[in-house]
Amino acid sequence: MRYFPLFFDTRERQLLIVGGGEVAARKLSLWRRSEMAITLVSPALNGELSARQGEFTWLAQEFSDELVRGKHGVIAATDDEVLNRRVAALARQAGAWVNVVDDPESCTVITPAIVDRTPMVVAIGSEGAAPVLVKELRRRIESLLPESLGALARFMGQARYRIPLKLRRSVWERFLGSNGLEWDEQRSQGRFQTALEGEELPGWVLLIPADQDAELLPLKAVRLMQECDALWHQGPLPRALDELCRRDASRMEVSDSALPEVRGKVMLVVSSEADLTAHLKGARVMRVESGRVTG
């Protein structure tokens, strides 16, 4: 992974856009959603930018070297390749990140396609290799996410402090299980209260053979792996299985005779065919076998 996806705080940050044409207008449309203070430098503006002058500070002049000083980010969006690369070099020297349109090798950052349901944001990128594919993925994801998803996320952010820390995950699972991704003021509030008053969800274990081909896992198994709170494994953990599990799930190597008590949802990668059910202290056990999940 050459380009690592990262969300950064745009408050009290300065952005310089060099250019006054169509490409600069596209960049402005993206970055005006952030809280960065935007300065645009160009001797002239196209019609779209002229109509949007209230969204940025315009310096009606040619680019000069000192303009990058104090900027946290710089975008070179002119049709002059030599000028764009000069801007990029100056930005790097000044310690700012830089994005150069249609010149990935001159960039220190690239901007992804974005599905915006603030505060929920989905970013999609291909390291500059397949922009049309990225655009198609953004279109598909956008069609799956309801417009009210942002309101749902804001509610969950505000309500999380009403839930004891150790119960938060189970409460939110119950709530989303009944509510889905839509936000309805009256119904969703009621479903949250019901989830808050519910009992703790019982624990379960998903048994997966260590030699399981990750590409042949059934969809149900992949979904359950994403829900796991912990990943236990006998012997070395296959990387392909590790990457399918939640990043924040705890990882621990275990033995047949010393399995911890099951609390919550556990993925157990087994290196032998031994029946471990007796050691799992009454938890529900599910197995991945021949393209299905049983139990």
Average pLDDT over residues 90-106: 95
Confidence check: pLDDT of 170 > 90: no
The whole-number pLDDT of residue 273 equals 65
Confidence check: pLDDT of 83 > 90: yes
- pLDDT-based confidence at residue 200 (cuts at 50, 70, 90): low
Confidence check: pLDDT of 227 > 90: no
- pLDDT-based confidence at residue 68 (cuts at 50, 70, 90): very high
The whole-number pLDDT of residue 10 equals 97
Average pLDDT over residues 95-101: 96
The whole-number pLDDT of residue 166 equals 87
The whole-number pLDDT of residue 230 equals 92
- Phi and psi based region of residue 281 (left: phi greater than 0; alpha: psi -120 to 50; beta: remaining): left
C-beta separation of 270 from 209 below 8 A: yes
Confidence check: pLDDT of 201 > 70: no
Confidence check: pLDDT of 88 > 70: yes
Cα gap 26→77, rounded to integer Å: 9
What are the tens digits of pLDDT across the range 16-53? 999 999 999 999 999 999 999 999 999 999 999 999 99
- pLDDT-based confidence at residue 219 (cuts at 50, 70, 90): confident
Confidence check: pLDDT of 56 > 80: yes
The structure's pTM equals 0.71
The whole-number pLDDT of residue 261 equals 83
What are the tens digits of pLDDT across the range 112-151? 999 999 999 999 999 888 989 999 999 999 988 999 999 9
User: Six-digit token pair at 263?
Assistant: 């609390």
Mean of the per-residue pLDDT values of the chain: 92
Helix axes 185-197, 149-159, angle to 10 degrees: 40
**Amino acid at residue number 16:** L
DSSP structure class, residue 127: T
Confidence check: pLDDT of 274 > 80: no
C-beta separation of 232 from 259 below 8 A: yes
Q: Strand 113-117 and strand 120-124: pairing? A: antiparallel
- pLDDT-based confidence at residue 265 (cuts at 50, 70, 90): confident
User: Six-digit token pair at 171?
Assistant: 């409460």
